[in-house]
Structure 1
Amino acid sequence: MAVKKKFPYRSAVVACNGGCRSAEGEAGCADGCIGCGACVNKCKFGAISINEYGVAEVEEEKCIGCGACAKVCPQKVIHVHECANYIVVKCSNRKKGGEAKKQCEVSCIGCGICEKTCTASAIRVIDNCAVIEESMCLSCGMCAVKCPRHAIHDLRGIFSTVR
């Protein structure tokens, strides 16, 4: 049975796109999803799976935004967001530019291009990683278009490829 949702509804998002291929105990991105499956096991609605990159992925249609997955995530890379905003940062790497590039092929390097591009001032680089203030975001997608590392995604697939 499908859950009836009011707009804007909430859904979980994993702030990691799997470019680092991180695994627990390995020298990779210490801030990314480790694919442990804790969120998969906790979700009562079957909304989360581990994708081909070894990263947790949320099926928005099944997710009710309860946040149970975020609470059990050992890496704290899952958060609940309002689905009226389709633009998300799919990276949690806190390393500086060159080091972040070495760890992940699609990591945020904190270059600030997204921040300069955003006409709504909804995006800031904090600890070398872009963060979107959802209440201010217009979902125009310019940050996703301009991101040189493709760390910012449009969940609709309009401005960036859905992975």
Structure 2
Amino acid sequence: MAAKKRFPYRSALVACNGGCRAVQGEEGCTDGCIGCGACVSVCKFGAISLNEYGVAEVDEDKCLACGKCMKVCPQEIIHIHECANYIVVKCSNKSKGAEAKKQCEVSCIGCGICEKICTAGAVRIMDNHAVIRENMCLSCGMCSVKCPRHAIYDLRGIFTKTK
């Protein structure tokens, strides 16, 4: 059952799209979701589940942005975001370009195209990956369209395919 919310509302977001199938201690991305399920078990609203890749996924209709999932995530990749902003970075990989490319088929490689294309100055490369400052983002979608690795995308599926 969907919770009644006033627009704009907030929801949890998992900054990983599952292309890396992150597993702690093994070769590959160590910054993504490890599929431990801690967030799933702590969510009283049934808003989080593990998808076909074993990555946590949030159902925005059920999420009340209580932040409990964010607190228990051992990877610290869940954050609360304003749902009025549909453009998100679904990658937390901090490895440099070539290494990130080897680790995940859809990782951010910190190329900076998104930063250059953003007319609002909302996108910055930090720790080798893109970060969107939601209070500045206009949700124009240009960064998602131009992202060569598809690490930035539109949750509505207008500018990019939803995943």
TM above 0.5, one fold?
Answer: yes
Letter in 2 for 1:119: T
TM-score (norm: length of structure 2): 0.98
Q: How many residues align?
A: 163
Unaligned runs of 5+ in 2: none
Identity %: 77
- 1:95-134 pair list within 5 angstroms: 95-134=95-134
Distance in 1 between residues matched to 2:26 and 2:126, nearest whole Å: 25
- 1:66-77 pair list within 5 angstroms: 66-77=66-77
Secondary structure of 1:41's aligned partner: helix
Secondary structure of 1:114's aligned partner: helix
Matched with 1:145 is: 145
Matched with 1:59 is: 59
Distance in 1 between residues matched to 2:92 and 2:37, nearest whole Å: 18
Distance in 2 between residues matched to 1:141 and 1:20, nearest whole Å: 24
Unaligned runs of 5+ in 1: none
Letter in 2 for 1:134: E
TM-score (norm: length of structure 1): 0.98
Spell out, residue by residue over 1:116-136, the C-alpha distance to the aligned partner (whole angstroms, 9 max, x if none): 000100000001010000000
Distance in 2 between residues matched to 1:2 and 1:149, nearest whole Å: 33
Distance in 2 between residues matched to 1:52 and 1:160, nearest whole Å: 20
Secondary structure of 2:80's aligned partner: strand
Letter in 2 for 1:48: I
How far the C-alpha of 1:27 sits from its partner, in A, is 1.4
Letter in 2 for 1:30: T
Spell out, residue by residue over 1:91-119, the C-alpha distance to the aligned partner (whole angstroms, 9 max, x if none): 00000000000000000000000000001
Please, what is the CA RMSD of the aligned residues? 0.8
